[in-house]
Amino acid sequence: MTRLPAAQRKEQLLDRAAELFARHGYARATTAELARAAGVTEPILYRHFDSKRDLFVALIVRAGQRTIETWEHHLAGAADAAERLKRLLGDNPMVTPEGRHDYLVLLQAITEVDDTPIHDAITTTFRNLHGFLRREIERAQADHKVTSRYSGELIAWLLIHIGLGYGSLSALRVEGQGMDASGSHVQDMLTRLLIGRASDRRPEDAA
């Protein structure tokens, strides 16, 4: 067993746990399996996490943090508020190889919402994601790139609802979902509806 610095070991345990939860589910995975998958003993696992639930909560929190870090990275260098929003609309971490395990863990939390710490972590995570999207939408609205007919708060929730639905169907491996026979994609439609082209926007949309 290789000795790793504490922070690196903790990340390794989270990585292995995400893979194990994604394959077997939260309820079925055991701390013994988690330790074995990480190549450590259970006492070492418990040095970093008090329980399996504590590990699960940490994964939920990390998923949200990683999503925001990914968005910030992809937004770097965007020319204006409209371009930033276009990049966000095409950037769903649920369907990327890097984010797939994180979001499979989040989806499993549906069965654990009566567990207060897990429920609190989920609520905080999605409110943080919502806050990030809301700020970007309101920036685009202030720049008259997105309609102000609806609040940034409401549009941000709409994007989360759509993103979760699309990501969930991807996780369920529903082939062809999100696309029509012509090859048009729901992300393209959403971009057009929210941002469109300059000729598409009516005066009241920028009001």
The pLDDT tens digits of the residues spanning 67-126 come to: 999 999 999 999 999 999 988 888 887 777 777 888 888 888 888 989 999 999 999 999
pLDDT digits (tens, 9 = 90+) for 20-73: 988 888 888 999 999 998 889 999 999 999 999 999 999 999 999 999 999 999
As annotated, the residues of the chain forming the CATH 1.10.10.60 domain(s) are: 1-49
In 3-state terms, the chain is what percent helix, strand and coil (to 5)?
70, 0, 30
Superfamily of domain 1-49 in CATH is: Homeodomain-like (1.10.10.60)
Q: Which two tokens stand for residue 200?
A: 């598409």
- CA dist 90 and 102 (Å) reads 18
Q: Which helix (H) or strand (E) holds 103?
A: helix 100-108
CATH class in words for 57-206: mainly alpha
As annotated, the residues of the chain forming the CATH 1.10.357.10 domain(s) are: 57-206
| pTM: predicted TM-score of the whole model, two decimal places | 0.86
- CA dist 5 and 22 (Å) reads 26
